[in-house]
Chains A and B, each alone.
Chain A
Amino acid sequence: MEKDEATNEFDTILLPFLNSVTEKETETSLSGLIFQHIQPVIEKNLRIKLYVSLKPEDFSPNNQEALEIAGEAKLKLVGELRKLKEQTPPKIISNLNSYVISVTLNAYRQYLRDKYPLRQKLKSKLRYLLTHHPKFALWEGENKWFCGFKSNKVRESIRPPTAETIQSGVTDTVYQQNLRDSSRIIELLTAVFTFAKVPIFFNDLLTVVSEFQENKDQKDVSAEEQNLYFCQDKMLIGIEQREYLEKIWAEIGTLPVRHRLALLMNLREAQGDCVIRLIPLLRIASIRQIAEILDFSPVEFASIWNELPWEDWQIAEYLGLTRQQVINLRQSARSRLLRQTKNF
């Protein structure tokens, strides 16, 4: 019954897959979804972000990276779609297109973060500097981001010098004036833009600054680093299950109340079951104790117990926040707990 009601709110594109009965039907509708709806959206977004062809025969490093990201995003989406068939109630995806875009962009950001952590940090620093310092500017031109002196914005149409040209052009100044030190980054940017005379591509600035500051990432990042905290195959049984939940429960108590609420009221395990229900069943805490930690009166909490888990909009309504804020609260609570319990 729950599933039928939820299905009504799904993107209609998903319905043939969700309503499929036999294994053959499921696989056919899933591959239809992937090739007609998911893959095109992933590829379109990665092409825009990374300016790549996404053709397997294109062996340029950027293209190969983009193919890797596309594969990663597709894998995650297929996993999520399969979960939808198993969960009761299932997670609702009301707009498949937006959902695929979010997953793709997250896979893209995470990939860059994992592979080039230093470059990512430098990118943020430069972005902040260019958008906050009165004499610099960062703006989006045709398909690319430009940066330079604010007074130079008009000259975007001129072909900018390449990163190599800039680097060789300012090397003497940089070394003579010791501009490689990170505390002199403003002077370094001034020297770069002065040399370039016209706005340059933001990515080229990033390359030049990271070269001078020797802020370069190692090319290979170990798989271990990429997924340090989570081992998906680890299934807990019996006493371990209880211990794990006990540990989570103890950590939840250290979070601010809104974080506890956003996490616990919606926390589901793989099959979609509400994790909060397991807490009294494992005698980790009573319903009354859960109410207390969530700042509910026991009667009030008991009256909503049968409705749990709540959807994000319900939590948002209860807390007087937006749905996105609830998602952000839960994310931040999750990431904290994930790290606190990583050694389990």
Chain B
Amino acid sequence: MAEHLLNDDIKNYIKRQMKPSDLLRADEHLAVCDLCFQQLGDLQPIQKSFDLSILEPSPEESEHLSYQQLENYVDEKSNKIEREIADVHLQACADCRSELDGLFEMRKLIETDTQNQVFVPLATETRDSNLFWKLISGKYPWPVGFAATGLLLVGFLFGIYWFLQPQKSNEIASNSSTPKLTLPVNSSPENLSANLLPNINKIELTNKNIEANLPKSTPTPFERETLPPAYQAEIERVLAVGNLNIPHEIKQLKQQNGKLMGGGTEGIPFALSTPVGKIIQSNRPRFQWQALDGATAYLVKVYDSNFNEVASSSQISGTAWQINRPLPPGKIYLWQVTATQNGQEIKSPVRPAPDAKFKILEAKNTAELNRLSRQYKNEHLFLGIMYSRAGLLDEAEREFQKEIAKNRNSKPARKFLQELQKRK
């Protein structure tokens, strides 16, 4: 132990008048020398009482995140520092988390709604009547108002005439809650399925070696509704080639994930189960891993692709953790679990094992898939192909299995299922 502090040293320490080097020396000494520490206490007794209010926010500071902070977070407009501020607050504040969830829910609804191009006839009507109102309200000189009103009336009569004529438009306008489909001019409810079937039959005739053909005896898979035209080409291609179109990104995410999921190799003291090496839809994934013998607690940390921590669990005793707030979609994440075993921290995975990566599907793709799965909920083959295309292999597998359960003779579903199982 270094020499004891002099009385003057202790006084200077209390008055905060020490040079940096002396202060560090005194600090080191006081940490270990009870005698000097006692002397310090005698010269400067620590306050007898201490107010818990040190953590209370000042009245001019808000206790919660503002709406603007939450909106920026949801719209991904927060910069790094703002996001960090919000993240730390959200970890502790259930009120703000719940408010944030509400905004994410709204964002999702808006995305789905705008992609569905909801047709609101009454809103259109309002727009017209709006103009009418302006014209008759005296905001314009009367000749202008009179002439324009006349034109509107002529337009209105023409509209009635047009409405009573047989429908020639290539748009089927549905009511507000029904998604609108844009179809070829010759489409009609009766020949919707025919639109698709000739193409599939053509494929069958021209690609004799392809197993992925629909037998002619198979009932048409899309009897009541047709597919959106944008997807018809994709379906034709997949059926013709006989291979699923799976994004390359999956390969990058996988990076020998067999090791991670199996455990027991270097850098993987215990295996992480899911999500590893996949694209997922949920922005609040549930993390699961295998138990480490003797571990009493686990801590999960989630990082973005730049290795910034974006979420972490508390110390938990189980082998699963549901993240408590949504992660921004469309990004790749890494995660790591730290187990506490006999007072020691053991992390998994660590180098040289590959990172445990997953990606959250882009919000617009999620919204589109949700829409398709609602609208075509019985078209499992179609949905399986769409899920594969988005990289959602578990969901795709489930749809192909459902298709096989529904139609045992479905060769394409069997073939695609095999392909998926090989790739997983």
Contact = CB atoms under 8 A, between A and B. Distances in A.
A134 B46 CA distance: 61
Contact of A338 (B37, B40, B56, B113): B56
Given A185-B109, A278-B46, A133 B114 contact: yes
A110 B416 CA distance: 56
A103 B51 contact: no
B6 interface: no
A1 interface: no
B60 interface: yes
Nearest to B64: A113
A31 interface: no
A103 B98 CA distance: 25
Contacts of B64: 109, 113, 335
Interface string B6-43: 00000000001110110110011011000001001100
A270 B81 contact: no
Given A248-B55, A335-B93, 4 more contacts: A80-B59, A237-B49, A269-B50, A337-B55
Contacts of B212: none
A151 B127 contact: yes
Interface string B177-202: 10000000000000000000000000
Given A135-B120, A282-B46, A110 B54 contact: no
B98 A325 contact: no
A186 B109 contact: yes
Contacts of B153: none
B89 interface: yes
B260 to A, nearest CB: 26
Interface of B: 16-18, 20-21, 23-24, 27-28, 30-31, 37, 40-41, 44, 46-65, 67, 69-71, 74-75, 81-82, 84-86, 88-89, 91-93, 95, 98-99, 102-103, 105-107, 109-110, 113-114, 118, 120, 122-123, 126-127, 129-130, 133-134, 176-177, 309
10 contacts: A106-B60, A106-B61, A122-B102, A128-B74, A186-B118, A230-B52, A235-B49, A236-B50, A302-B20, A332-B89
Contacts of A332: 65, 85-86, 88-89
Contact of A132 (B54, B59, B110, B309): B110
Contact of B89 (A128, A231, A270, A335): A335
A210 B71 CA distance: 21
Contacts of B69: 328
Nearest to B34: A283
A155 B106 contact: no
A133 B123 CA distance: 14
Nearest to A157: B137
Give the dominant DSSP class at A's interface: helix
Contacts of A303: 20
Given A110-B63, A305-B23, A234 B52 contact: yes
Contact of A194 (B20, B44, B123): B123
Contact of A335 (B63, B67, B99, B102): B63
B103 A149 contact: no
B84 A232 contact: no
A151 B56 contact: no
Interface in A102-137: 102-103, 106-107, 109-110, 113, 117, 120-122, 124-125, 127-129, 131-135
A6 B140 CA distance: 62
Given A133-B114, A234-B52, A187 B177 contact: yes
Contacts of B88: 255-256, 259, 332-333, 336
Contacts of A99: 60
B116 to A, nearest CB: 10
A258 B84 CA distance: 9
A237 B123 contact: no
Nearest to B65: A332
A162 interface: no
A134 B54 contact: no
Contact of B99 (A121, A134, A194): A121
Contacts of A325: 81-82, 85
A288 B105 contact: no
List the 9 closest pairs (A to B, CB-CB), nearest first.
A302-B20, A102-B60, A336-B92, A332-B89, A76-B59, A306-B16, A287-B27, A339-B92, A270-B51
A153 to B, nearest CB: 9
User: Quick one: which of A77, A129, A135 has the most chain B CB within 10 A?
Assistant: A129
Contacts of B99: 120-121, 124
Given A190-B123, A255-B88, A256-B84, A124 B70 contact: yes
A336 B61 CA distance: 15
Given A128-B74, A135-B120, A335-B92, A186 B49 contact: no
Interface string A62-93: 00000000000100110110000000000100
A253 interface: no
Of the candidates B49, B51, B59, B63, the one having the most CB atoms from chain A within 10 angstroms of its own CB is B59
Contacts of B176: 187, 190
Given A113-B64, A124-B99, A256-B84, A133 B110 contact: yes
A287 B107 CA distance: 47
A149 B122 CA distance: 11
Given A194-B126, A231-B52, A302 B89 contact: no
A141 interface: no
A39 interface: no
Contacts of A236: 49-52
B4 to A, nearest CB: 17
Contacts of B21: 299, 302
A309 B380 CA distance: 65
Contacts of A128: 71, 74, 102-103, 106-107
Nearest to B84: A256
B109 to A, nearest CB: 6
Interface string A318-335: 000100010111111111
A229 to B, nearest CB: 9
A336 B114 contact: no
Given A151-B126, A306-B16, A336 B89 contact: yes
B85 A328 contact: yes
A328 to B, nearest CB: 5
Most buried by A among B17, B106, B129, B176: B106
B51 A269 contact: yes
Nearest to B90: A332
A338 B61 CA distance: 14
